[in-house]
Amino acid sequence: MSLFSPPRYQAPFKPYRRDDLTPAIKIFTAAEGLIKGALFGCRMCGNCLLQETAFVCPMTCPKGLRNGLCGGATPEACEVDPSRPCTWYKIYERAEKLGREDALLENNAPLDGNRVGRETWIDVVKMWREREDSPKVTEYFSDREKFDKDWENLFYDIRQPEWWQGDKKYHAPAYEEPISLLEANLRTGEFTCTGEIAPPLSVSETVICKKASWLSGYVAAANFTDNASASARMGSMAASKLCLDSASGLEPVMQLQARDRTRVVIESDVMGAAGLGIKNILCLSGDHHRFGPGPVSKPDQFDMDAVQMLWMLRRMRDDGKYLDGRNIKFRPQLFLGAAGSPFGAPPKYEAIRAEKKINAGAQFIQTQPIFDYNGFLEWVEALDKRNLLDKVYILAGMIPLKSARAANFMVDVPGVSIPPEIVKRMDNAGDKDGQAEEGVAIALEMIEKLKNTPGISGIHFMAVHWEAIIPRLMDESGLPKPSVTTLSETVN
């Protein structure tokens, strides 16, 4: 057990190389690990964020998330290991008590592998002594303001390496003309819809072309999921490219999750996707392997989280730099998106996470499915309080329910809130056809509300294996079709 954090989930890190470690340093490192382990559950990541995370160690999170909670977190337990509390709930609660919520907005770097498993205290002392503007102990009593400022600067330089330089600011996209049709349509201010197509289990492109043709002319773009629920299918990049090449003319949104990808693979996949003509990318942290059907892979599966991906990809696009500083001569053209979770944690916490994503580079947000309209409004209001609504396009998620079984399944999905009256309506809807019709009626009622909700730019349809229903829903509800069909058309 540790005093201030949930216990460690995995053993402390060990350094990549040990040839430069003297016996004295090894002993010192072991002692530091023991003390910090007992106090904070520290895993010796060498990239300490404790000041930003209200002295709860984020590396005790089983996904190693360093910028906020995942979509499945609950106040009671971690979604990966229900025997432990969610680390990020602890962080938010403690930060609230200490009045340090603002510190949670800083975009924290992924780990620097060269630092893991090594001592940090000697480094801090060295840096303190070498810098002229280090905080002076005497100033703690004589000039507290200056002491606090110098302290903050010192620790900012310690936790934010030169190659990352994360901050709390909003970074507007550094380009003028819309990059994709989806962006162009959203910029018109008209209500804009997107759809979702699950890539097939087989290698056949027929399914993708068929489903893309159903949605073409209705939605501005279609998402291709990326091994959702840790279950293997055709890759999102390949499915997106097949969609792009199909006769449908439908633009893809490539979903890209951090799970199982190192920073190098993320950069490489995005460069490849951009080279293939894919422009919309939805950045996700990803479901843990624990939720997949197969034998589970090793525990440390996340090199980055969605916030870090957005930060890195925005800089590749706008600054033309890889994370290691190399220049990109022809930059990837990317319209970047993120997922929103209105029902995961209390809206005030989810709004912090959304702000980090928007500040990092998210230009559109597609949310989890909305069944509980009032709960959704609370989330929108929390974003509005943080002045986020004019910085991002929000597409409200919708899953049309095809059966009572689907409705009952939703009850236990983390991050989804489905009111009992909706489940009851589906249960009482009679046979298969009656249930599907009731699902359509429920979806149409929700569309009517969402259409008239300020701050909402459109709807994202996730009609799991029922994509053919999307055109009917859009026709019957009078949702507009995309007005911009080529990028040469005037927008703005």
Nearer to ligand SF4, 188 or 301 (CB): 301
**Of 41, 72, 110, 135, which one interacts with ligand SF4 (CB under 6 A)?**
72
**Of 48, 73, 304, 339, which one interacts with ligand SF4 (CB under 6 A)?**
73
Q: How far is the CB of 139 from ligand SF4 (least distance, A)?
A: 38
* 53 is a site residue for ligand SF4 (CB under 6 A): no
* 61 is a site residue for ligand SF4 (CB under 6 A): yes
* 62 is a site residue for ligand SF4 (CB under 6 A): yes
**Of 45, 50, 59, 65, which one interacts with ligand SF4 (CB under 6 A)?**
65
* 339 is a site residue for ligand SF4 (CB under 6 A): no
* 91 is a site residue for ligand SF4 (CB under 6 A): no
- Distance (Å, rounded) from C-alpha 11 to C-alpha 394? 40
* 87 is a site residue for ligand SF4 (CB under 6 A): yes
Q: How far is the CB of 73 from ligand SF4 (least distance, A)?
A: 4
* 341 is a site residue for ligand SF4 (CB under 6 A): no
Say whether 356 sits in a helix, a strand or coil.
helix
Cβ neighbours for 49, distance < 8 A, ≥ 6 positions apart: 57, 58, 66, 108, 159
429 in Cβ contact with 435 (< 8 Å): yes
Query: Which secondary structure element, helix H or strand E, spans residue 365, and what is its range?
Result: strand 364-369
- Distance (Å, rounded) from C-alpha 51 to C-alpha 157? 13
**Of 50, 70, 345, 426, which one interacts with ligand SF4 (CB under 6 A)?**
70
Burial class (CB in 10 A: 0-12, 13-18, 19+), 215: buried
How many CA atoms lie within 13 Å of 68's alpha carbon, on the beta-carbon side? 28
Nearer to ligand SF4, 103 or 487 (CB): 103
DSSP state of 161: -
Q: Phi-psi bin for 230: left (phi > 0), alpha (psi -120 to 50), beta?
A: left
The one segment of 57-65, 97-105, 147-155, 214-222 that binds ligand SF4 by CB under 6 A: 57-65
Nearer to ligand SF4, 78 or 394 (CB): 78
**Of 78, 323, 396, 436, which one interacts with ligand SF4 (CB under 6 A)?**
78
**DSSP secondary structure letters along 312-329:** HHHHHHHT-B-TTS-B-S
The one segment of 13-21, 81-89, 135-143, 379-387 that binds ligand SF4 by CB under 6 A: 81-89
* 86 is a site residue for ligand SF4 (CB under 6 A): yes
**Of 13, 40, 88, 218, which one interacts with ligand SF4 (CB under 6 A)?**
88
Q: How far is the CB of 313 from ligand SF4 (least distance, A)?
A: 22
Look at the block and give the residue holding tokens 């911009």: 484
Look at the block and give the residue holding tokens 């059907």: 293
**Of 8, 36, 43, 63, which one interacts with ligand SF4 (CB under 6 A)?**
63
The one segment of 72-80, 127-135, 138-146, 430-438 that binds ligand SF4 by CB under 6 A: 72-80
- Provide the residue type at 41 as one letter: G
Q: How far is the CB of 289 from ligand SF4 (least distance, A)?
A: 12
> Which has the closest alpha carbon to 14: 26, 2, 22?
26
Question: Phi and psi for 191 in degrees, rounded to 5?
Answer: -60, 125
Look at the block and give the residue holding tokens 């009917």: 472
Question: Phi and psi for 196 in degrees, rounded to 5?
Answer: -130, 135
Q: How far is the CB of 348 from ligand SF4 (least distance, A)?
A: 16
* 43 is a site residue for ligand SF4 (CB under 6 A): no
Q: How far is the CB of 217 from ligand SF4 (least distance, A)?
A: 39
- Distance (Å, rounded) from C-alpha 222 to C-alpha 216? 9
Q: Which residues bind ligand SF4 (CB under 6 A)?
A: 61-63, 65, 69-70, 72-73, 78-80, 86-88
